[in-house]
Amino acid sequence: MINVSIIGATGYVGVELMRLLHEHPEVEIKDLVSKSSAGQLLIDIYPQFRGSKLNDQKLIALKDFKAEASDLIFTALPHGVSQDIVAELYGKGPKIIDLSGDFRYQDVDIYEEWYGFEHRHPELVKEAVYGLVELNRSKIKNANLVANPGCYVTASLLALLPLINFKKADPYSIIIDAKSGVSGAGRSLKENLLFTETHNSMKAYSPGVHRHGSEIEYILNQYLKGSYTENKIYDSKVTVDSSNLEKEKNRVEVLFTPHLVPIKRGILATIYLDLKEASSAAEILEIYQQAYNQEEFVQVLADKLPEIKNIAGSNFAQIGFKYDQRTNKIIIVSVIDNMLKGAAGQAVQNMNLIFGFAENIGLKSTALFP
């Protein structure tokens, strides 16, 4: 049994973490830290926890939090805010899983360019392990600080990684068109996220400049350079040409456009990738099956395309594709729940790895549909 605390407990990610953790057989929730709601009972903010083990849990201020009493701390805080709090906590004993973007880049310059914040703790960036389990499992197991990936990034990387080193693929041709539910924007009040602003509508936002586009690029380039060679995605008999990064350009670039759709949760990413020579659906399917046939939370659909309703409320990702012979392009569709596999669920998956629990403990729920 481990003691776990959450800093930023009353945001959407925080409450999803609580929902998962309070049912986890190996976890005792120790402290829930909230800047805006310190002193209040959790059930007065989130009544769904009435009658549960958290019925009498009171939210506390950060100044009253004793980090040493926890084995693990989740920091579910805004970008730019998290880095100082993680720096204060790091080295006091607990493992830390950070759900902001503050520790996802080993290159501080890229972070500062895309996030617009000075990174005041570059020494900790070098300590952080990127927390996409299917890519970085062995390093996560021994990590003291895990940087949980972005939600759009998780959906996109899971779709792209098996193909990015495919000798017939052009890794410089990636276009990602992604849609997210409104919960991805967080719980703070914003006029453009009001019901009447989003209902019966759909819009693109931040095309070409969204931070998750830079994160996708960064991890893909690190992957192509060999930073994640311990992962079995690299071992496919079909994905062989790791030198193509240097043949054409210095780095892969991704054209990424996110969209807001009027649903509460879920991400659907449609990804376009050119091929340099003809392939077949069977060959592409083999690549995905080799990459993910041992991964419980990544489901490859051989004969259909995935839908958000089939994964919402679960920690599963579903991936399907269509090979278009006429244009010699692969169209990949990847779906996840942005609050679970894209945030809290993936964080719990990382926690399970770190503490030697079965990876699926607390994460076995299927989708909520209908």
| 301 Cβ neighbours under 8 A, 6+ residues apart | 318, 319, 320
What do you get for the CA distance between the two ends of the chain, in Å?
34
Buried b (16+ CB within 10 A) or exposed e, 352-362: bbbbebebebb
Identify the pLDDT of residue 188: 59
Question: What pLDDT, in 10s, does the model give residues 163-184?
Answer: 998 999 999 999 999 999 886 6
User: Is position 163 annotated as part of the catalytic site?
Assistant: no
Q: What is the mean pLDDT of residues 141-169?
A: 96
* Domain-wise residue ranges, the chain: 2-148+343-354, 152-336
For the cut 70, the answer to whether the pLDDT of residue 243 exceeds it is no
Banded model confidence at residue 186, pLDDT cuts 50, 70, 90: low
For the cut 50, the answer to whether the pLDDT of residue 237 exceeds it is no
Question: What pLDDT, in 10s, does the model give residues 88-111?
Answer: 999 999 999 999 999 999 999 999
Residue 278 one-letter amino acid? A
Q: What is the mean pLDDT of residues 74-78?
A: 96
Active-site residue (options: 4, 96, 129, 151) = 151
Residues of the chain with pLDDT > 90, as a percent, come to 82
Looking at domain 2-148+343-354, its CATH superfamily turns out to be NAD(P)-binding Rossmann-like Domain (3.40.50.720)
Q: What CA–CA distances, in Å, run from 26 to 1, 205, 357?
A: 5, 40, 8
Higher-confidence residue of 194 and 156: namely: 156
Banded model confidence at residue 238, pLDDT cuts 50, 70, 90: very low
For the cut 80, the answer to whether the pLDDT of residue 10 exceeds it is yes
For the cut 70, the answer to whether the pLDDT of residue 274 exceeds it is yes
For domain 152-336, give the fold. Dihydrodipicolinate Reductase; domain 2 (3.30.360)
pTM: 0.93
Q: What is the mean pLDDT of residues 278-294?
A: 96
